[in-house]
Every structure is written in structure tokens, then in C-alpha cells.
Amino acid sequence: MILIVDSGSTKSDWIIIDANGKQLFEKQRTKGLNPEILTEKKLRKTILKNEILKTNSGSATHIYFYGAGCGTDRGKEIVFEALTTVFPNAIVKVDEDTMAAVYGTISRVDEAAVVCILGTGSNCSYYDGTKLHQRVQSLGYILMDDASGNYYGKQLIRDYYFNLMPENIKVAFGSKFNLEADYIKYNIYKQPNPNAYLANFAEFMFLNKDSDYILELIKSGIRIFVKNYIMQYKEELKTVPVHFAGSIAFFSQDQIREVANEMGFVVGNIERRPIDGLVAFHTKGL
């Protein structure tokens, strides 16, 4: 039994297939398994809350895990320990979530592209057709993650408190969420997964895209992301497209294309969830 996992900070998708590539169960979902936020013990507990994974833990022979927070040796090690403990008979491979985005968006295995993730967090790398090249090391959601869900959540809350929202948007935002200061601070500073908490607010943007304020907010974040991340690959952009993966990218693809025209790069594929591309990649040799 082979498990293929695409894990963000908010949620993780699990596809379970047999040695012939046949899917054995419906896609399983757990909470996000980010080792920068959760301990190895909490990672294990999160996995074991899923009954299908728990019941079949001894049958897994291979696990291909792609996750947020796995771009460092330490992050990979924490996830590896959790997975080998839960699935004792499996050969485990842990890689960063950017590789999931690569395999989920490229049109062929040897295609070169700049690949971006815009989900709960954000990232950008260059894939040369064989290897991944990253020119900006992530410092986590507080200092980085431009144009991500948690970035936009933070901007919305700030604009609400600084009275920078149009009145109708402010009323709508205030009626949808609990925006009491103590409640916000409790979730950010006292609860696990503060980045996922902030990202929950981003959905509001896509339900209110008829607002000029919202459209400019989205484009402003994308411009910052392009300047800080995509433009690290100016030479590569002359010859390769820029692919995107993640819910924020999927729901803001019109704004991404507008900014691309402004800033001079070619948008390639935009996938909401790269898990299907991962399954295709790992079943080619079966």
C-alpha cells in the first residue's frame, strides 16, 4: 500500500493506492502537518485521528510526503520520525511542499519552470527540469509568506482596525468574524497554527471581489510577492513560465494574470491542489 501526501499548514490530502496504482480509498484528509508549528508528538496524534490511516498503518509499504515546513533538514527529520512511528513497515520519503507544486503543475517531467505556492503560506522556486533551486530561505509566516492566506488575513484585520476599509466592507467583515481584540490575540498568541487561523479570513476576499478595495488588496499582495520572490529569477523568466499552486492562487488567478502583464512574466498552469499531479507522477513507473 502506497501513501501519497500533500500537506500544507491548514490541511493534508492523502491518496492511498496499491502496487498497481489503483486507489484503495476515497481521498483522506487530516489537519496540516507542518513541523515548524507542530511537535513530532502532535504530528502523530493528528495522523492517528484519521480512522482509515490508523487502521491501515501496518499495511503501508511506501510513503511519499510533501509538506510545508519540510524545506529544512530539521523539518524533514521531525516528519520522518512521526511517519516511521505511525507506519512502521513503510519506506518513507519526505520532501518540501514546493516539490509537490512542481510535480502537480509541470506539463512534463523535464520541464523547467518557476513554481510558486500561494496557499496558507507562500513560496517560490526554480525547477530546472531535474533539480529545485531556491534563492530565498523562508523565515516563516511572521516575516515572509507574501500574498498567502495568512498574509491577506493579517492585512484584512489590520485594515479593519486602522479604519482603512470602505464602510460596507467593514460592516460585512465585522458581521462574518469575531473581531474582538482579545479573541484575535488569543488565537494568534495562545493557540496552535496561528498562520492557519489568519488564513481563514482570506476567504472573505473571494466572496467580495466586486469591491475595488478587495481587488486592489489582492493585487497589492501579488505585486509584493512578485517583487520579493518571482523576480529573484529574472534571467530564468526570459525563457520559462511561472506556474502556481494553492487555493489563494486558484481564486486570484485573474489578478495574477493582470500583475504578470504589468511586471513582465508569463503565467503557466494554476492548480488549486497538486495532489492529482503527484499521484500521476508516482504511478508512472508502477
Calculate the average pLDDT of the chain: 94
Q: What confidence category does residue 273 fall into, taking pLDDT thresholds of 50, 70 and 90?
A: confident
Separation between Cα atoms, residue 23 and residue 172, nearest integer Å: 43
The domain segmentation of the chain, as residue ranges, is 2-101+275-283
Quote the pLDDT of residue 145: 95
Q: Is the pLDDT of residue 260 over 90?
A: yes
Give one word for 113, left, alpha or beta, with left for phi > 0 and alpha for psi -120 to 50.
beta
Rg of the chain (C-alpha set):
19
Q: Is the pLDDT of residue 67 over 90?
A: yes
Q: What confidence category does residue 285 fall into, taking pLDDT thresholds of 50, 70 and 90?
A: low
Quote the pLDDT of residue 265: 97
Separation between Cα atoms, residue 53 and residue 49, nearest integer Å: 8
pLDDT tens per residue, range 108-162: 888 999 999 999 999 999 999 999 998 998 888 899 999 999 999 999 999 999 9
What grid cell was written down for 160?
479593519
Quote the pLDDT of residue 8: 85
User: For a pLDDT cut of 70, what percent of the chain falls above it?
Assistant: 99
Q: What confidence category does residue 46 fall into, taking pLDDT thresholds of 50, 70 and 90?
A: very high
* CATH level 3 topology of 2-101+275-283: Nucleotidyltransferase; domain 5 (3.30.420)
CA of 192: how far to CAs of 9, 106, 240, 276, in Å? 11, 34, 38, 29
pLDDT tens per residue, range 173-208: 999 999 999 999 999 999 988 999 999 999 999 999
Q: What mean pLDDT do residues 4-21 have?
A: 91
Q: What confidence category does residue 286 fall into, taking pLDDT thresholds of 50, 70 and 90?
A: low
